[in-house]
A and B are shown apart, each in its own frame.
Chain A
């Protein structure tokens, strides 16, 4: 059983049901960070427990349960790991709710690579 120690490289969890979006995060951050993917809430929770990420990029609109459900099920743990919402939608209500549930920030699709890289750098350095 592996002892949960901070990884050499920062570990980032990307939760999105769109293949293209996951590939984009891979090609953008894969060189510097350990990027893990999940397509749905269950998979994301499993990875969150096992991989111990230092940052989560979370799509709001997922198949089945939504990104908000992920935040709810995470509970207080979301406070220690920054969760950044990634959304294609313009639903302000859902964004406000994600803030209330502890989301650290919002990135709107189509995002700018510099913006995402800055967030990744800031999050992993703080750790």
Chain B
């Protein structure tokens, strides 16, 4: 994880140092300048006053000597005066401006000094102060000089007799100034050091908690959530630390919740895995591109998919080479977005065709967006075998019922016939016997014959000729056929026929027989009268072949039947009636099946019975 540069930095400290140093240095320089210039002015003023006083004094002392051109005296005065401290030279100029005396330089007596300072001094009619430099003849280097010239007048007249010039050296004054500057600089340096030390303390006070915060942030980033910092500076930094501590505590709480959620997710995943593992049904999920996302162990075994191929989301075609029908079903599920229940497909695994029962359901996310398809499937091999066994057992049971019924139906007439036949030798002469014989025996023989006929019909494949048939018309004919019977039995009847009923594909004659049997059955269920309703309508469902269908409903208000009776209702020779062969409903069942239709019964003891026949619509064949 790439984090921010967390190396500690000293930038803040350096910036503080530099700015404080600059301020102090600037202040020091300003103080230096102000103090220097003021002192300079002061010293200069003092020097000027002193030089003027000395020059004026010399002028007063020397006016007589100047007036009298007593150069010797002037020379003495000059030499004497020049011994004063800081005096660089003393010069007397005579009335003509020539040198009358020059301290330390006798040879210049009588010379005229041509430099501008000297000329200005010579011309001066009032005391004149000039700054110049002087290179003393004894060496020692050029030095700054305050040159003061005082003109000497004769008593109160305006006549100038000469000029007294003294040169006061400013070197000592400057040395004094330099000393002062040095002191000031020293003070400045000390101030700077003190200030920098203070800055250091101050900066450390600021930066230490800041560094602690930075360290804390680094540790927090490294995973030490919940870390608390103890910073008590009583200022904004403490507030910052409190905010940091709050954030850290929040993070810790969030992390704890996250860990808890992760544990929950993990538990859920394990739970889901357990479910998938323990399912004895195959489970497969595919995404919208038809790629396998999940398959459980049972599913992989059933489909013969090596589990290592699932990790890469393989396409269905790649993992199911023998599953054309299954793949087609899955693609249809993906396209149609509908739940498919209990479809049956054959799946080839290792050269063996396995019957699979398959259900599919679209997968959606919580917002309803499609994710793919869930496919559940199981091996129907065992179930198929069981079904086959049950069908066989069912057939045997039906055969048993049929045989028992057949035996009963035939043995009664046989008992009568056998009795009459056995009595012939004994009672042949008895007329009453012969009369009874002629009634009973043919009748009972006809019964046997009728049973055999019905049985044959049931066994025969009827040659039906289908055409487009108006079922409503057929229903009316059947009700007409039985109208007298119904009146006798005090049965009301009602035909609720849908005028928009499509034509059915049917054999009219057979259909009349099938419906007649139902009507007869209904009438016999209502010996004390009741109500019969026959209704037609387009069927809600479809025929086994998938076409549209019409529906005929025959309902009575009779005694109804218990579930056991209902389950045997269509078996040949099954009857609850003393009169009746038990073949009527069996025939009806057969006829409806030959039409490609269905027949079902709803009945309960005391609630009457409803037969529902569906027949394919003529145009849907």
What is A's interface to B at a CB cutoff of 8 Å?
17-18, 20-21, 23-25, 27-28, 39, 61-63, 88-91, 109-113
**Interface membership of chain B positions 271-291, coded 1 if the CB is closer than 8 angstroms to chain A and 0 otherwise:** 000000000000000000000
Question: With A23-B440, A113-B422 in contact, is A90–B407 under 8 Å at CB?
Answer: yes
Q: Which residues of B contact A24 (CB under 8 A)?
A: 415-416, 418-420, 440
Contact B412 A109 (CB under 8 A): yes
User: Is B404's CB under 8 angstroms from A90's CB?
Assistant: yes
Q: Nearest A residue to B419 by beta-carbon distance?
A: A24
Q: How far is the CA of A115 from the CA of B280 in the complex (A)?
A: 64
B415 contact set on A, CB distance < 8 A: 18, 20-21, 24, 88, 109-111
A14 and B578 CA atoms in complex are apart in Å by: 16
B414 at the interface (CB under 8 A from A): yes
B433 pairs with A17, CB closer than 8 A: no
What are 12 A-B interface contacts by the 8 Å CB criterion?
A: A18-B412, A18-B416, A20-B413, A20-B443, A23-B436, A24-B420, A27-B427, A62-B578, A63-B578, A109-B411, A109-B415, A110-B418
Determine chain A's interface SS by DSSP, over half rule.
Answer: loop
Q: B408 within 8 Å of A by Cβ?
A: yes
Question: Could you tell me the distance in whole angstroms from the C-beta of A21 to the nearest C-beta in chain B?
Answer: 5
CA distance A63 to B576 in the complex (A): 7
Bound complex: CA A20 to CA B436 (Å)? 11
User: A27 near B412 (CB under 8 angstroms)?
Assistant: no
Q: Check B417 for interface membership: any CB of A closer than 8 A.
A: yes
Instruction: Specify the chain A residue showing the minimal Cβ separation from B422.
Output: A113
Contacts of A91 in B (CB 8 A): 404
Residue pair A23, B407 in contact (C-beta under 8 Å) = no
Nearest chain A CB to B241 CB, angstrom units? 96
Within 8 A of A (CB), among B392-429: 404, 407-408, 410-420, 422-423, 427
Check if A63 sits within 8 Å of B407, measured CB to CB: no
* Extra A-B contacts (5), CB below 8 Å, given A20-B412, A89-B408: A17-B578, A20-B416, A88-B411, A90-B404, A109-B411
Which of B404, B422, B427, B577 contacts A63, CB < 8 Å?
B577
Residues of A within 8 A of B447 (CB): 20
Q: Do the beta carbons of B433 and A20 come within 8 Å of each other?
A: no
- C-alpha spacing A21/B410, complex, angstroms: 12
Which residues of chain A have C-beta atoms less than 8 A from B346's C-beta? none
> Considering only CB atoms, which chain B residue lies closest to A111 in the complex?
B415
Q: In the docked arrangement, what's the CA distance between A103 and B266, Å? A: 75
Most buried by A among B408, B418, B443: B408
List 3 tightest A-B contacts by C-beta distance, closest first.
A20-B416, A88-B411, A24-B419
Is B444 part of the contact surface with A, judged by Cβ < 8 Å?
yes
Contact at A27–B420, with CB atoms within 8 Å? yes
Interface contact A110-B408, CB-CB below 8 Å: no
Chain B residues with Cβ under 8 A from A28's Cβ? 419, 423
> Which residues of A are found within 8 Å of B444, using beta-carbon distances?
20
Q: Is there an interface contact between B436 and A110, defined as CB atoms closer than 8 Å?
A: no
A61 contacts across to B, CB distance below 8 A: 408
- Scoring B residues 434 to 456 as 1 if CB is less than 8 Å from chain A, else 0, what string do you get? 00100010011001000000000
Indicate whether A109 sits within 8 Å of B414 (C-beta atoms), given known contacts A24-B419, A61-B408: yes
Which B residues from 362 to 414 make CB contacts under 8 A with A? 404, 407-408, 410-414
Interface residues on B, range: 20 to 34
**For residue A25, which residues in chain B have a CB less than 8 angstroms away from its CB?**
419
Q: Are B419 and A27 in contact (CB under 8 A)?
A: yes
Chain B residues with Cβ below 8 Å from A90 are 404, 407
In the assembled complex, the CB of A33 is this many whole angstroms from the nearest CB of chain B, namely 15
B420: chain A residues at CB < 8 Å are 24, 27
Q: CA separation between A39 and B407, bound complex, in Å? A: 20
Interfacial chain B residues near A113, Cβ < 8 Å: 418-419, 422-423
Shortest CB distance B416–A (Å): 3
Which chain A positions have C-beta within 8 A of B427? 27
Per-position binary interface string of chain B over residues 445-472, scored 1 when its CB falls under 8 Å from any chain A CB and 0 otherwise: 0010000000000000000000000000
Q: Which residue of B lies closest to A59 (CB)?
A: B412
CB distance from A42 to the nearest CB of B (A): 14
A28 CA to B436 CA in the complex, in Å? 12
Beyond A20-B443, A88-B411, is A110–B404 a contact (Cβ under 8 Å)? no
Tell which of B417, B444, B447, B578 has the most Cβ of chain A within 10 Å. Answer: B578
Contact A23 B416 (CB under 8 A): yes
- Beta-carbon contact of A110 and B411 below 8 Å: yes
Closest CB of chain B to A25's CB: distance in Å? 8
Distance between B430 CB and nearest chain A CB, rounded to angstroms: 9
Instruction: Please measure, in the bound complex, the distance between the C-alpha atom of A7 and the C-alpha atom of B414, giving whole angstroms.
Output: 32
CA distance A23 to B423 in the complex (A): 13
For the complex, give the distance between the alpha carbons of A109 and B346 in Å. 53
A112, B444: Cα distance in complex, Å? 17
Within 8 A of A (CB), among B538-580: 577-578
Q: Is the CB of B407 within 8 A of A88?
A: yes
A23 (CB) vs chain B CBs: closest residue:
B440
The residues of A that contact B414 with a CB separation of less than 8 Å are 109-110
Q: A11 CB to closest chain B CB, in angstroms? A: 20
Task: Provide the residues of chain A in CB contact with B418, threshold 8 Å.
Answer: 24, 110-113
B408 and A88 contacting across the interface, CB-CB below 8 Å:
yes
Identify which of B404, B423, B433, B578 contacts A89 (C-beta below 8 A). Answer: B404
* Chain A contacts for B412, CB-based, 8 A: 18, 20-21, 88, 109
Nearest to B440 among chain A residues (CB) is A23
Nearest-neighbour CB distance to chain A for B403, whole angstroms, equals 8
**Chain B hits for A88, CB < 8 A:** 407-408, 410-412, 415
**How many angstroms from the CA of A27 to the CA of B404 in the assembled complex?**
27
A113→B512 CA distance, assembly (Å): 44
Is the pair B417, A110 in contact by a Cβ cutoff of 8 Å?
Answer: yes
> For residue B418, which residue of chain A has the nearest CB?
A110
- Give the most central of A23, A28, A89: most B CB within 10 Å: A23
Residues of B within 8 Å of A17, CB to CB, are 578
A89 and B436 in contact, given A27-B419, A112-B422 (Cβ under 8 angstroms) = no
Closest residue of A by beta carbon distance from B441: A20
